[in-house]
Amino acid sequence: MTHRILILGGTTEARQLAGRLARRADFSVTLSLAGRTESPAAQGVPVRVGGFGGADGLAAYLHADKIDLLIDATHPYAARISANAAEAAKQAGVPILALRRPGWEPVDGDRWTLVDSVAEAARALGTAPRRVFLAIGRQEASAFEAAPQHRYLIRSVDPVEPKLAVPDAHYLLARGPFPEADERALLESHGIDAVVSKNSGGEATYGKIAAARAHGVEVVMVRRPVLPDVPSAETVDALAAKVDHLFAPVAERGV
Ligand code: NAP
């Protein structure tokens, strides 16, 4: 019997999980991407792209495609799709598991200013001109047009279009991982005195946080949104184990 699994992805872990589950002959795995990135990394399993049309649309898709398990492996700041996933799974009566990468915790030497939104981050930079490294992706970068006094270094996977209506912005196109040594060099060469970051967690983008700590640079950290409470695991391995358990023959499941 084939078990049909839909993974909501867009993250490195989603891709890893898909590859891992696809190795099992009795799993049919599809990965879903929002379609934000112009040339997403190769995913290694069948991919579908684009929104479903809210929770109702996703529930209809789960039903029509006879999905046996929905896995939410989206980015921790993609709160809408996670809420839709929880709601759709309930509506369609399909089990759901979430891959929830833990956030970073501040350690000695960190200078974090915690804010609840990107707009608040722009205000938290203050009125005096600063040299700011924006490492929050391109989707919400325009919020910093409200603080045009600063000089911005803006890094994203795809180009920020339109460019920000601020007098001094430098754009950098790059895809992680970003090692600490490179991030230190970047902060230094641009004379950065504030980093704006989301609390993505994981290793791939932690380099800027460690680099900021090493240089005594403030990090304006946008707090994570609240996500629905569904069964979850923190790592690809732990989630794959839950999936194996869910679909193990009854005799192997234990209690
Ligand atoms: P979102 O606000 O939660 O989702 C908005 C809509 O996009 C959803 O309602 C859904 O449309 C569609 N969607 C999202 N993920 C999808 C998926 N895997 N498959 C199919 N449709 C999907 O999420 P977002 O707009 O993608 O991102 C929100 C924030 O998260 C951004 O600020 C971004 O910075 C951050 N983010 C970062 C990364 C990253 O760094 N790797 C990746 C993703 C997001 P329908 O309602 O029509 O189904």
Which of 41-50, 163-172, 245-254 is least confident? Answer: 245-254
Q: Which of ligand 1's atoms lies nearest the C-alpha of 83?
A: 3
Confidence at residue 250, expressed as pLDDT on a 0 to 100 scale: 64
47 lines ligand 1 (CB under 6 A): no
Sign for the pseudo-dihedral over CA of 126, 127, 130, 136: positive
Residue nearest to atom 1 of ligand 1 (CA): 78
Q: pLDDT (tens digit, 9 = 90+) per residue, 85-107?
A: 999 999 999 999 999 999 999 99
Side-chain-side CA neighbours of 141 within 13 Å: the count stands at 27
The protein residue whose alpha carbon is closest to atom 8 in ligand 1 is: 81
Whether the predicted pLDDT of 56 surpasses 60: yes
Query: In this model, does residue 5 exceed pLDDT 70?
Result: yes
Pocket test for ligand 1, best of 29, 61, 75 (most atoms within 8 A of CB): 75
Cβ of 34 closer than 6 Å to ligand 1, yes or no, is yes
Residue closest to 20 by CA, chosen among 48, 47, 45: 45
CA of 35 to the centre of ligand 1 (A): 9
Domain residues of the chain, as ranges? 3-102+226-253, 112-222
- The answer to whether the CB of 10 is under 6 A from ligand 1 is yes
Report CA(29)–ligand 1 centroid distance (Å): 20
Angle, CA 175 vertex, CA 36 and CA 79 arms, to 5°? 40
Whether pLDDT at 254 is above 60: no
- What mean pLDDT is reported for the chain? 95
Ligand 1 centroid – CA 134 distance (Å) = 19
Q: Which two tokens stand for residue 247?
A: 């679909």
CATH of domain 3-102+226-253: 3.40.50.720
The pLDDT tens digits for 139-161 are 999 999 999 999 999 999 999 99
**Bridge-partner residues for 32, per DSSP?**
8, 48
> Pairing relation of β-strands 27-33 and 169-173?
unpaired
CATH superfamily of 112-222: NAD(P)-binding Rossmann-like Domain (3.40.50.720)
Please, are residues 73 and 14 in contact by the beta-carbon 8 Å criterion? yes
Mutual orientation of helices 79-92 and 54-64 as an angle, nearest 10°? 50
Asked if the model's pLDDT at residue 231 lies above 60, the reply is yes
Q: What is the mean pLDDT of residues 176-193?
A: 97
Q: Are 8 and 71 in contact (CB under 8 A)?
A: yes
Is residue 170 scored above 60 in pLDDT? yes
Asked if the domains at 3-102+226-253 and 112-222 fall in one CATH topology, the answer is yes
d(CA 11, ligand 1 centre) in Å? 10
SS3 assignment, position 206? coil
